[in-house]
Chain A
Amino acid sequence: MSPRRIAVIECPEEIPCNPCETVCPQGAIQVGNPITSRPRLDTRHCIGCGACVAACPGLAIFLVSSDNNGPDEVTFPYEFLPRPEPGESVTAVNRDGESLGPAWVKACWQPQGADGTYLVTITLPVGLATKARGIRRPSHDR
């Protein structure tokens, strides 16, 4: 059985914003009134579709899946060119851009209405799903 993929929202401040709430087809995210409230996710309803990941202007939502039997998977929004290719080997980085070691691009995809933003799904060693939030690409270093 493949591990369940769910959204993780890292939006720590009370800012006037709610596209995550309006875009979720499952109604799993609630911002409510006032619009400056922080988003809350009801994980029971999340199907990991990624719509909120692409819609969030703060690029603050990720999809994470982990179980003990296989590698972890993290999905994050990506707005740089060139687009990562499936199979590309990359370096996973944490929230401070520090290396966490090797990872592999599993997919580069767009949910509906993504408007230019790509979602990159990487696989990486077990236990890193809570830390990995982006990639560096040795093959494209400037």
Chain B
Amino acid sequence: MSALTIARSGAQVVLIDENDQPGGQLCKQIHKFFGSKDHRAGVRGYRIATELLEDCAAAGVEILTDTVVFSIQDCTLGLAHRDDCFYLKAQAIILATGASENPLAFPGSTLPGVMGAGAAQTFVNLHRVLPGRRVLMVGGGNVGLIVSYQLLQAGAQVVGVVEALPRLSGYQVHAAKIKRAGVPIWTGHTVLEANGDQEVQEVTVAAVDDHFQPLPGSERTLAVDTICLAVGLTPLAELAWQAGCRFFYQSALGGQVPLHSVNMESTVPHIYVAGDMAGVEEASTALEEGTIAGLAAATAMGCSVPQAELEAAQERLASLRRGPFGDLRQRAKSELIKRWTDCHPGE
């Protein structure tokens, strides 16, 4: 979204992604998205990615796929493409590197068959391979619930979803889909251990008390060949660390996140941040942040950008962070922006 916005403002843009197709998480989301018409709600995620890419190509964005950014220094990026390595100097850089899945350690968690829910999603939706036939999902956030549904669609059996908290953090409408399909959801439960010879063959789950300690006698053992972990995402912000951006810990946003202004500028001049790497949220918020970062960067480079467009994007972004699910993130974001402002007296 950033790339598109900047290109439309008249600047030259290079879009770099390590995959063979840019689009990140969107490429493997086969479900229809939440949000409003402005955020292409009701459109399946992978179609949003395709549409954005086509728009980018039409706007003249140069796209480098299969290319990893391994370093960043004074607006110069180090790039690796297959056996080649080269450098690229830019006037402005927008980091939108996304997030990575959190691991969870338990006896047996290194057995083949234990994987991130996102990995399972990549298997079924991108590569069309079923990672297993009987799956336990660990984590009742939206990722755990959506991937459970998609595994059912792919033909796997989901034997249950365990969530350590007393209630699900994902949307009830996503939970309702898999409940109707007969998948039990055990809140206040955790995974104790996985067992198997060469790979996962069974898993033991148990209820937990208020301190997340397993309750003796509540254990149950299930025959499974796959355990999916959907226990949160952490911003993938190594490049921002390398660039010297200042960070602040915000658990509501997934961990250490770079400070940024309302215009998504980091604390390092000419470097902007957007999307999950600037705080794990949703595609709709990532799109708006990308738009804002793009408009701000274009302005800073001297392109003429209608101020009203920037304000409209900021307004749409704020509206997405309302309600019981958005409120915490809104407060965490405000704190980041406040701390950024403290570092930039007079702005």
A residues with a Cβ closer than 8 A to B are: 10-19, 22-23, 33-36, 55-60, 79-81, 93-97, 115-117, 133-134, 136, 142
Query: In the bound complex, do residue B284 and residue A13 qualify as a contact, i.e. CB atoms below 8 Å apart?
Result: no
C-alpha spacing A72/B182, complex, angstroms: 23
Query: In the bound complex, do residue A55 and residue B32 qualify as a contact, i.e. CB atoms below 8 Å apart?
Result: yes
In the complex, given contacts A12-B172, A35-B319, what are 18 additional A-B residue pairs having Cβ atoms less than 8 angstroms apart? Answer: A10-B176, A14-B323, A14-B324, A15-B171, A16-B34, A16-B35, A16-B284, A17-B36, A17-B41, A19-B41, A34-B322, A35-B320, A58-B34, A58-B174, A95-B176, A96-B179, A97-B182, A133-B176
Query: In the bound complex, do residue B325 and residue A79 qualify as a contact, i.e. CB atoms below 8 Å apart?
Result: no
Query: In the bound complex, do residue B33 and residue A57 qualify as a contact, i.e. CB atoms below 8 Å apart?
Result: yes
Query: In the bound complex, do residue A22 and residue B37 qualify as a contact, i.e. CB atoms below 8 Å apart?
Result: yes
C-alpha spacing A56/B319, complex, angstroms: 20
C-alpha spacing A96/B282, complex, angstroms: 28
Q: How large is the interface on B (under 10, 10 to 19, 20 to 34, 35 or more residues)?
A: 35 or more
Query: In the bound complex, do residue B153 and residue A79 qualify as a contact, i.e. CB atoms below 8 Å apart?
Result: yes
Query: In the bound complex, do residue B326 and residue A19 qualify as a contact, i.e. CB atoms below 8 Å apart?
Result: no
Tell me the minimal C-beta distance from A19 to chain B in angstroms: 4
Name A60's closest neighbour in chain B (CB-CB).
B173
Q: A57-B31, A79-B153, A142-B155 are in contact. Are A16 and B177 (CB under 8 A)?
A: no
Is the C-beta of B180 less than 8 angstroms from some C-beta in chain A?
yes
Contacts of B34 in A (CB 8 A): 15-17, 57-58
Q: A34-B323, A97-B179, A134-B181 are in contact. Are A19 and B42 (CB under 8 A)?
A: yes
C-alpha spacing A33/B155, complex, angstroms: 39
Query: In the bound complex, do residue A16 and residue B181 qualify as a contact, i.e. CB atoms below 8 Å apart?
Result: no
Query: In the bound complex, do residue B172 and residue A13 qualify as a contact, i.e. CB atoms below 8 Å apart?
Result: yes
C-alpha spacing A115/B46, complex, angstroms: 13
Tell me the minimal C-beta distance from A97 to chain B in angstroms: 3
Is the C-beta of B44 less than 8 angstroms from some C-beta in chain A?
yes
Query: In the bound complex, do residue A16 and residue B322 qualify as a contact, i.e. CB atoms below 8 Å apart?
Result: yes
Is the C-beta of B157 less than 8 angstroms from some C-beta in chain A?
yes
Max chain A Cβ within 10 angstroms of own Cβ: one of B31, B152, B153, B171: B171
Query: In the bound complex, do residue B177 and residue A59 qualify as a contact, i.e. CB atoms below 8 Å apart?
Result: yes
Query: In the bound complex, do residue B179 and residue A15 qualify as a contact, i.e. CB atoms below 8 Å apart?
Result: no
Name B180's closest neighbour in chain A (CB-CB).
A134
C-alpha spacing A22/B41, complex, angstroms: 10
C-alpha spacing A19/B323, complex, angstroms: 17
Is the C-beta of B69 less than 8 angstroms from some C-beta in chain A?
no
Query: In the bound complex, do residue A13 and residue B36 qualify as a contact, i.e. CB atoms below 8 Å apart?
Result: no
Name A57's closest neighbour in chain B (CB-CB).
B32
Tell me the minimal C-beta distance from A41 to chain B in angstroms: 16
Q: Which 6 A-B pairs have the closest CB atoms?
A: A58-B173, A36-B323, A97-B182, A19-B42, A14-B323, A57-B32
Query: In the bound complex, do residue B319 and residue A80 qualify as a contact, i.e. CB atoms below 8 Å apart?
Result: no
Contacts of A115 in B (CB 8 A): 32, 42-44
Query: In the bound complex, do residue B153 and residue A80 qualify as a contact, i.e. CB atoms below 8 Å apart?
Result: yes
Listed by A's residue number, 28 A-B pairs whose Cβ atoms lie within 8 Å are A12-B172, A13-B323, A13-B324, A15-B173, A15-B323, A16-B319, A16-B325, A17-B35, A17-B41, A18-B36, A22-B36, A23-B42, A34-B323, A35-B319, A35-B322, A36-B319, A36-B323, A55-B42, A57-B32, A57-B42, A58-B34, A58-B171, A58-B174, A58-B177, A79-B153, A115-B32, A115-B42, A115-B44
C-alpha spacing A34/B284, complex, angstroms: 15
Query: In the bound complex, do residue B173 and residue A95 qualify as a contact, i.e. CB atoms below 8 Å apart?
Result: no
C-alpha spacing A67/B285, complex, angstroms: 45
Name A99's closest neighbour in chain B (CB-CB).
B182
Is the C-beta of B183 less than 8 angstroms from some C-beta in chain A?
yes
Contacts of A136 in B (CB 8 A): 182
Q: A14-B323, A142-B155 are in contact. Are A60 and B176 (CB under 8 A)?
A: yes
Contacts of B171 in A (CB 8 A): 13, 15, 58
